[in-house]
Chains A and B, each alone.
Chain A
């Protein structure tokens, strides 16, 4: 089993308003194809950890490996490229570009990567949309669709560059149970059928139980 993501002795401090040791010696590995959830009380540092793992936050101690390569201390431009190519991120609040169409939103990271022609990207994007059963929304403005649909578009966007890992920070936290189920089923399907690695922060006990593995955090430490 190859490792997709590895954290070694990660520590983080917030210096303002008072010095606060928010992450305390975090160590874990995510294997390829594994569907992992992170649980823990509000304020225990789940989001903070996820921002570090997603390379957006560089202000930490310790080492972070992606596909067995050290990414800690890479330049900002290198990290941008890594996020673009290897990491798909799904937020609690959908975060689509509201003035663009659904299709354009999904295509954007692939256009930035610039490895494929416009036609290929468009074809890929339509394919991702149909996996998520929202291909009929492709031409709609992103601001004109429902919350559950937006979250599915965000997942399609996270998938577009076929990343090594998908990270989600309470992606179902803002959805009703029907839509939550729907999103969970999509993740599960991607994990089972396409061997995708997933790391999802959640509050939802039922959601977590159905994943391969649960990481539990408390006060900035991993306890199980």
Chain B
């Protein structure tokens, strides 16, 4: 038989007469929850921004021909040595082409798969940029500019000019920003490139490409698929890489394995290729929760402290309540509800502060070369964080209130009354 009206009324009176200490304890919770909301919204915002970056710009499956030694050396196929132990020294890679055999039928086959959003060809080639007597080594990749822009947000990387212009200009090139800087070239200029075989071609610069990674921008350029085929003197079916984008990223791994088996090619799925990003996400989450839990433990100790102090001060009140018929449980509830009120009020204000803070952060400009599409600090607004936050606050204040209130429950009124 618990009369909550009376219990809450006593709890309220205790809290209000100790308003300064109450406010301090609640402020501890406010800081903990505010920091949690701010941190978790910012960190997960960062995570999903980085993930999106990877997901949007990286092929979900990358298919190419790996140059590697034969898994089965010729000697193993020779019956005469079947039962002997064969040692082969200095194994060389098997002679094979970089070209994907039957690339165009494979692309058509992939495009028909319902899991596939798009499959587009690329040609990777090594070339030299020629500036007077200087030859700079580099990579020229042949692409289908409009498809790249559509499927892999290629436009985000083109800082001057456009993919559309590349598509329209047969001898056009999107020059890497580092290359352009080294050779003092800008859009509209011409650049000469030389193949490994020594053939020289002049190309017109229609745009500048910048990935944000200096090492790549210092060597990498892009041209139309056909242009690269012509430069290399190869036929129209010469393709070295196929990039696949899926509707659902989860099927990337099984599909990559299936492609490897079916076509005898190398197929890397996005999760295998970007395993380190998963680690980064995990660590950021770990930091967020470690910091928040630490703050809440500190806040919990604050509540534990104030309740202990309050119970010490209110010994006489506790004795009189028990003498006039309040049970140990009633007294425990009085102090538990004080802890819970502190936690609830502090927690709710913390949520509010978190909301305000994240909204402010969300408007702070954040411009970096590496992330051309991002303008302000990323924030992930997610209702779950608020539910977790207030649950967190309630649990920690409950624990902090439990021990002191248990002590209050056990106080023997006779000892107190005798002590006077």
Contact = CB atoms under 8 A, between A and B. Distances in A.
Interface stretch (A36-44, A51-59, A127-135, A210-218): A51-59
A89 B14 CA distance: 24
Interface in A130-184: 157, 169
Between A54, A95, A113, the greatest number of chain B beta carbons within 10 A of the residue's beta carbon is seen for A95
A9 interface: no
B323 A108 contact: no
B86 interface: no
Given A89-B323, A114-B1, 10 more contacts: A47-B418, A54-B323, A56-B414, A80-B325, A85-B325, A97-B320, A97-B321, A108-B6, A108-B324, A169-B417
17 contacts: A56-B322, A56-B417, A80-B327, A80-B328, A83-B323, A83-B324, A84-B325, A91-B420, A95-B316, A95-B320, A96-B320, A99-B14, A99-B17, A108-B6, A112-B325, A114-B1, A169-B417
Contact of B414 (A57, A81, A97, A99): A57
A100 B327 CA distance: 20
A114 B320 contact: no
Interface string A49-86: 00100101100000000000000000011001101110
Interface in B1-59: 1, 3, 5-6, 10, 13-14, 17
Contacts of A93: 420
Given A56-B413, A99-B17, A112 B326 contact: yes
B413 A80 contact: no
B324 A157 contact: yes
Leading 5 A-B pairs by shortest Cβ distance:
A84-B325, A80-B327, A111-B6, A83-B325, A95-B320
A84 B420 contact: no
Given A92-B420, A93-B420, A76 B323 contact: no
A91 B5 contact: no
A181 B50 CA distance: 85
A88 B413 CA distance: 15
A76 B327 contact: yes
B3 A112 contact: yes
A111 B316 CA distance: 19
B419 to A, nearest CB: 10
Contacts of A109: 324-325
Interface of A: 47, 51, 54, 56-57, 76-77, 80-81, 83-85, 89, 91-93, 95-100, 108-109, 111-114, 157, 169
B329 A77 contact: yes
A128 to B, nearest CB: 14
B317 interface: yes
Nearest to A93: B420
Contacts of A91: 323, 417, 420
Interface of B: 1, 3, 5-6, 10, 13-14, 17, 316-317, 319-330, 413-414, 417-418, 420
A132 B339 CA distance: 38
Between B1, B6, B320, B322, the greatest number of chain A beta carbons within 10 A of the residue's beta carbon is seen for B320
A108 B10 CA distance: 10
A169 to B, nearest CB: 8
B414 A51 contact: yes
Nearest to B420: A93
A223 B324 CA distance: 31
Contacts of A99: 13-14, 17
Contacts of B324: 83-84, 89, 108-109, 112, 157
A69 B327 CA distance: 21
A126 B202 CA distance: 106
Contacts of A112: 3, 6, 324-326, 330
A76 B328 contact: yes
Contacts of B326: 80, 84, 112
Contacts of A77: 327, 329
Contacts of A80: 322, 325-328, 330
A5 B3 CA distance: 28
A201 B244 CA distance: 95
Contacts of B323: 54, 56, 83, 89, 91, 95
Contacts of B317: 97-98
